[in-house]
Amino acid sequence: MQKKKQTNVMTLVFMLLFLLAFLIIMGRYMYIQMTGEANKVSLTEWANELRETSITLSAERGKIYDNNGMMLAYNRPTYRVYAILDPEYTVNPDEPMHIIDAEKTAEQLSAVINIDKKEIVEKIKSGQKEERFQVEFGKEGKNLPQEVMEKIAEQEIPGINFIEDSMRYYPNGMFASHILGFARNDDKDELIGIAGIENEKDEILGGTDGYIRYKRDKYDKKLLNADEVVKSPENGDDIYLTIDQKIQTLLEDVMSQVDEQYSPKRITAVVMNPKTGEVLAMSNRPSYNPNKPEDIKNWYNDVISTPVEPGSTIKMFTWAAAIEEGVYKGSDTFQSGKYSINPKVETINDHNQGKGWGKIDFDEGFRRSSNVAASKLVWENMGTDEFLEYIKAFDFDEPTNIDLPSEVAGKVLYDWPSEKLRAAFGQGSTVTPIQQMKAATAIVNGGDMMQPYIIDKIIDSNTGKVIEEKSPQIVGTPISESTADQMMDLLDSAVNQDDGTGKPYRLDNYSVIGKTGTAQIPNPEGSGYLPGNENNIFSFLGMAPKENPQILMHVSVTQPELKDDARGSDPVSFIFNNVMENGLHYLNIEPDKDKVIDPIESNEFPSIEGKNTKDIKKQLEESKLEVVFVGDGKKVVAASVEEGIEIFPSQKVIIVTDKATMPNIKGWSERDVLSLASLLELDVEIKGSGFVTNQSIKKDTKIKGNMKLGVTLGSSANKEEKEKEKSKK
């Protein structure tokens, strides 16, 4: 009886527990049904998410232009090929939407893109085995140009589809690469700026993506009542630089020639309008092609990011400080050669191994670039504390704040007497080329120092309205107008008097003024400096014309390989003289010398299209242009230079005749190859850097449409011979 009673109690307990659980479940069910929420998750929203799909509408990245509207960087559409494997994706059996025949698909694809047939078959069959919905084809199946995509699409291969991507493209290759920088896709497949303007103005250029959101079926097809929501993308803004494409091109070409001939460790060059602070051109070697960021050897824009000991170019500011302080008298004399303030401080030597030039005056000391003269001006005439104030007034202790990323200011070493003496002639303390350029504008502008800048304006790409526009800005007045005028005369004497160090920088048509520099390189493995004539940084900071300078330019060449009869000024003057002379011609600046040598009858390229080839050859044979005729046809059909465009001496002009054949392009630059490919409609593939060493299309081969030209860049034969001669020694 007792046992039966216990059984009834247990049964009742279980029934109550069951009832309680039932009530809880039912209550929860009713709650979910009434509120549509489970565990604080909206089931309605969850269901909508399952039914909804979203397509990103990519914003177009803003373009970058030069100061004349020449496009320097833009987004180019590319395509990614993929194959659908899922047979359920096909709705109509007569129109298959998935891969039917792996072998045939592979044969068709491999005929157009550079993927091995076996590799394609393997990817498709492996994906089918793993029951994957789709597969892609790796690196070779991405970044396909539109013409390749269209060739594949024309074959109507079942299951083959494309995704449109966007790739940043720089049409001029290595041109201004350290200014432009580059943009590439990150891990999230978003295009972001990595260096240069692309990085500095990434947010402005990038824009904001939009989207399309709609409801779909299980085949990812839009429903009839799709509740579609569209948010349009906001495209990035366009940026116009102060860079002038013509001057930048001229600078790039001559720097490449010096790089090839002298194999220096480094070259920097910057060209500026000294009246405004606008940078007209800027380049470095080593450089890189922003279309191939994987080949980058030098990330740094050395003009703004690599401070070095400047050498004697700094003396123009030492003399300016002494003049401004009222302690300078050019006719006062001193004993050149060696100078010591006391036995405990190192002796200062003039650059001719301390021999000097006897007793000379301070004006001659400037012309001859005397270290002793500079040291005496600071230590005896001016005072070291006063000189430090001028170093700061010229902003050598801070960055210029140019609108480029990763600027690094130089460092002023000014604690010990030896450091103060050496600062006077450009040793010990460091500066960047852009810091010197900024300081030099004060000498050009009667004491007013200009802010350097490289972005001219920012334009709304949708409306064309100017969002931001820069204008010249005075950022300091370290010296007076009378001091600036006296310095202009001293800079004139350094170039145009026979005892001046700047003689190699004289031009035929224009009066150049400026200051040379030869900076020793600190020994990285110990104290002191590297020995030898080649182990220097050779530089020149100059301007022209003297009475009203329109171009200010700084060039430096580090550790060039010099032949026995060569001077350190040779590679520097080759760059400076070419860019300055032709740049002033291009800007239509009137020559200010009596002797005028105009390199061509007219600086504008004539109309030649459709004209007789012989007549054009005769017309151009007197010019100093490097003219290449493509083929031996009777008529001219195209040229690399348009009618009316300003041209420079030694500029390469490619002229295509109506019987085009492949020229010998060995020794050509990458820019010239790209120009030829554009004229002949060749599909070009370039490997390496430097100048052409091999070409896939042989010389005199008849050119047909859509031919593929493979080009290898590297060291030229001349450079290789030079290396062999060096190894024999």
Is 25 a member of any domain? Answer: yes
Q: What is the pLDDT of residues 124-160, one digit of tens each?
A: 888 888 888 888 887 788 888 888 888 888 888 888 8
Q: What is the pLDDT of residues 420-444, one digit of tens each?
A: 999 999 999 999 999 999 999 999 9
Structural domain for 655, as ranges: 613-728
Is 420 a member of any domain? Answer: yes
Q: Can 166 be counted among the known catalytic residues?
A: no
Q: 112-126, 335-349, 600-614, 672-686: which has the minimum mean pLDDT?
A: 600-614
Angle between the 569-586 and 245-262 helix axes, to the nearest 10 degrees?
Answer: 160
| Domain containing residue 203: CATH number | 3.90.1310.10
Contact 146, 162 (CB under 8 A): no
Mean pLDDT of 644-653: 73
Contact 389, 375 (CB under 8 A): no
| Domain containing residue 502: CATH number | 3.40.710.10
Q: pLDDT at position 112, please?
A: 84
Q: What total number of domains does the chain contain?
A: 4
Task: Decide if pLDDT at 584 tops 70.
Answer: yes
**Residues 77 and 147 placed together within one structural domain of the fold:** yes
**Residues 457 and 551 placed together within one structural domain of the fold:** yes
**Residues 13 and 66 placed together within one structural domain of the fold:** no
Identify the top-confidence range among 138-152, 480-494, 681-695.
480-494
Task: Decide if pLDDT at 725 tops 70.
Answer: no
**Residues 390 and 282 placed together within one structural domain of the fold:** yes
Is 478 a member of any domain? Answer: yes
Which of 183, 211, 241 is a domain's end point?
241
Q: pLDDT at position 712, please?
A: 86
Task: Decide if pLDDT at 595 tops 50.
Answer: no
Task: Decide if pLDDT at 56 tops 80.
Answer: no
Question: What confidence tier does 312 reach under pLDDT thresholds 50, 70, 90?
Answer: very high
Type of residue numbered 120: I
Is 600 a member of any domain? Answer: no
**Residues 188 and 124 placed together within one structural domain of the fold:** yes
Q: pLDDT at position 74, please?
A: 93
Q: pLDDT at position 715, please?
A: 64
Which of 210, 241, 272 is a domain's end point?
241
Q: What is the pLDDT of residues 84-106, one digit of tens each?
A: 888 777 666 677 888 888 888 88
Q: What is the pLDDT of residues 446-475, one digit of tens each?
A: 999 999 999 999 999 988 999 999 999 999
Q: 68-72, 338-342, 595-599: which has the minimum mean pLDDT?
A: 595-599
Is 579 a member of any domain? Answer: yes
Is 694 a member of any domain? Answer: yes
Question: DSSP readout, 138-196?
Answer: TGGGSSB-HHHHHHHHHT--TTEEEEEEEEEE-TTTTTTHHHH-EEEE-TTS-EEEEEH
Q: pLDDT at position 7, please?
A: 67
**Residues 226 and 269 placed together within one structural domain of the fold:** no
Q: pLDDT at position 347, please?
A: 92
Of residues 58, 287, 312, 556, which has the active-site annotation?
A: 312
**Residues 419 and 543 placed together within one structural domain of the fold:** yes
Is 602 a member of any domain? Answer: no
């490619």: which residue's tokens? 654
Q: 340-344, 355-359, 514-518: which has the minimum mean pLDDT?
A: 340-344
Enclosing H/E stretch for 75: strand 71-84
Question: What confidence tier does 191 reach under pLDDT thresholds 50, 70, 90?
Answer: confident
**Residues 567 and 632 placed together within one structural domain of the fold:** no
Q: pLDDT at position 50, please?
A: 55
Question: What confidence tier does 380 reach under pLDDT thresholds 50, 70, 90?
Answer: very high
Q: pLDDT at position 622, please?
A: 65
Which of 189, 221, 241 is a domain's end point?
241
**Residues 424 and 356 placed together within one structural domain of the fold:** yes
Task: Decide if pLDDT at 41 tops 60.
Answer: no
**Residues 408 and 308 placed together within one structural domain of the fold:** yes
**Residues 650 and 692 placed together within one structural domain of the fold:** yes
Is 43 a member of any domain? Answer: no
Task: Decide if pLDDT at 549 tops 90.
Answer: yes
**Residues 188 and 253 placed together within one structural domain of the fold:** no
Q: Name the nearest CA neighbour of 557 among 726, 433, 425.
A: 433
